Amino acid sequence: MPEFHINNRRRLIQKLHGSVFASTAHTVIQKTKDTNYPFRQDSNFWYLTGINEPNCILVIDSGGQEHLFIPQVTKAHTTWLDGGLSITEAQQKSGIQHVHYLTQKAAIIKNILGNTTEVLMPQNRKDSFFTHALNPAHSKFKRALKRYGVKKINDATPILDELRVIKTEPEIKQLATVTAFTEATLESSMEHIANFKSEQDVEAYITAEFIRHQFTHGYDPIVAGGNNAFMLHYTANNQTIAKNTAVLVDVGAEQDYYSADVTRMLEFGTMSEEYQHVKQLVAELQKFIISYLKPGTTPMEIAKAFRQELLKALKILKLLDDSAELKDTYEYCPHGFGHFLGLDVHDAGDYSQPLKENMVFMAEPGLYVAEWGVAVRLEDAYLITKQGCIKLTEVLE
């Protein structure tokens, strides 16, 4: 759908005010000697171009003219590998008429820059507590820009975040589709509980359903039985499921770069009274969050209200005493109440700004009570409307 990407670039150009803009695709990352990790395109690059190939570059000059640089497909490439685009194919996929091979990039970009020494470019960043390395394509291209005479690279991420956070109709439909399929897969998995002896069995069933219907996982699936659910991003998924145990399943089907994010509890046997109390409280907390998901309210305001409501509930359960403060609730819920959803599972968005119509936001309360050995999380996607919000999947009805 090149029109989608053409419109995204058109809206971007309106915000550039004559600045030169650049964005780079991801590069392929080595897994072993002669194998690679599955390629996943940079979300901003795909949003602007629709190109799912590594090592490409987009440059928009000060007059709004668009240039796309792509690797030239060689005989060796077509012999050993799939993928690769011709000039014509890249033009058709992106709607960009000025498509060049990477071998031409130095001369053409220098000509585009002229006397300009500043460029706008989205910055590649990560949260401090994650240990993965950033994709090297961004830093490599920054070094190239410096060689071409660029002295300052300004961050274009806030501009793209502002565009991406408001979803178009096709995006909303795609997010609703992957969410509905993920929910249906989790519901069907509950019918096969008797066949699941381990976390691997649950993951295998979900993965098979995804593949059978031409979906992939949007992120590493979390299938956490018992105490494993206290580890928020547990992905080992390799333990036997004990009797009378709940398994926290956090998965999302992905298709055409848009992923769902759904969390459910699968119950194996008879659940304890403490579990039932926590499960009910988490459901009530989700309803509380949903009541705040409406235009004009900021996620930061919702976060504070959520902590206040959680504090009251923890005091009622006698898990915290009357002297407890909001900061004490993080022992029982160390993560936020929700997040934006889109091209990235934790998508672009400013949590200090008011919610607006056609944003998609997650309601994700969790409660982790080590004293009782109970961890419960519930997660669903909601579309912000003019008056409030609706469950995202309702747009398909």
- Phi-psi group of 21: left, alpha or beta (phi > 0 → left; psi -120 to 50 → alpha; rest → beta): beta
Q: Would you state the pLDDT for residue 78? A: 73
Query: What's the confidence (pLDDT) of residue 128?
Result: 62
Number of residues written out for the chain: 397
* Per-residue H/E/C for 136-163: CHHHHHHHHHHHCCCCEEEECHHHHHHH
Q: How many CA atoms lie within 13 A of 77 on its CB side?
A: 9
User: Any idea which residue has 């999947």 for tokens?
Assistant: 393
Residues of the chain by 3-state class (helix, strand, coil), percent to 5:
40, 20, 40
Instruction: Return per-residue pLDDT of the chain as tens, 397 residues.
Output: 699 999 999 999 999 999 999 999 999 999 998 899 999 999 999 999 999 999 999 999 999 999 999 999 877 777 677 778 999 999 999 999 999 999 999 999 999 999 999 999 998 776 666 667 788 899 999 999 999 999 999 999 999 999 999 999 999 999 999 999 999 999 999 999 999 999 999 999 999 999 999 999 999 999 999 999 999 999 999 999 999 999 999 999 999 999 999 999 999 999 999 999 999 999 999 999 999 999 999 999 999 999 999 999 999 889 999 999 999 999 999 999 999 999 999 999 999 999 999 999 999 999 999 999 999 999 999 999 999 999 999 999 8
Maximal C-alpha separation, the chain: 72
Asked whether the beta carbons of 338 and 347 are under 8 A apart, the reply is no
Encoded tokens for 339: 């997040």
Instruction: Please state the pTM of the whole predicted model.
Output: 0.94
Following DSSP, what letter does each residue of 90-117 receive, concatenated? HHHHH--SEEEEGGGHHHHHHHHHTT--
Among all chains, which residue has been given the structure tokens 């994709």? Answer: 135
Per-residue buried b or exposed e for 337-356, using 16+ beta carbons within 10 Å of the residue's own CB? bbbbbbbbbebbbeeeeebe
State residue 239's pLDDT score.
Answer: 97
Residue 75 confidence (pLDDT): 75
Q: Which domains does the chain have, with CATH numbers?
A: 2-164 (3.40.350.10), 169-396 (3.90.230.10)
**DSSP letters along 183-247, please?**
HHHHHHHHTTGGG--BHHHHHHHHHHHHHHTT-EESS--EEEEGGGGGSTT------BPPTTEEE
